[in-house]
Amino acid sequence: MLKEFRQFVMRGNVLDLAVGIIIGAAFGKIVSSFVADVITPPLGLLIGRVDFKQLGWTMTTGKDGLPVRIMYGNFLQSVFDFIIVAAAIFVLVKVANKVQDLRKKEEAPPPPPATKTCGECCMDVPVKARKCGHCQSALA
């Protein structure tokens, strides 16, 4: 069972997935910081000096005397995070697809030959020819 587990973990797909998850988590932190520290402050200023993190709706006061609040500002912050992450991933995938398309064009197989060699006179003749233009022998 340990051997099977090791084979499973050492597959390329599993390692690629693990690297993707780790990089995605780090990228998510960067985007969250970008949204919280760079995007929302000017946006809040434009809207009227609104701090999105403080936006909420107070429902009632709890038993401990603290207000029970629905913090929809944090939700808006998360929506902004998602939109920016989705846009960044979209751009990244578009660029990766273009690079992959360029590689496919570079690796395209060569076109089929336009000529063949006559068996009698060893001269090159067009592929579609039925007779050699040099020696007039029939071509197969």
- What is residue 111's three-state secondary structure? coil
Question: Which domains are delineated in the chain?
Answer: 2-85 (1.10.1200.120), 112-140 (no CATH)
pLDDT (0 to 100) of residue 126: 92
| Rounded Cα–Cα distance for residues 45 and 51 (Å) | 8
Contact (CB, 8 A) for 127 and 114 = yes
pTM of the predicted model over 0.75? no
pLDDT digits (tens, 9 = 90+) for 7-56: 777 776 777 788 888 888 888 888 778 877 888 788 778 877 777 777 88
Helices marked H in 1-140? 2-10, 12-34, 40-48, 72-106
* Nearest one of 36, 20, 15 to 89, comparing CA atoms: 20
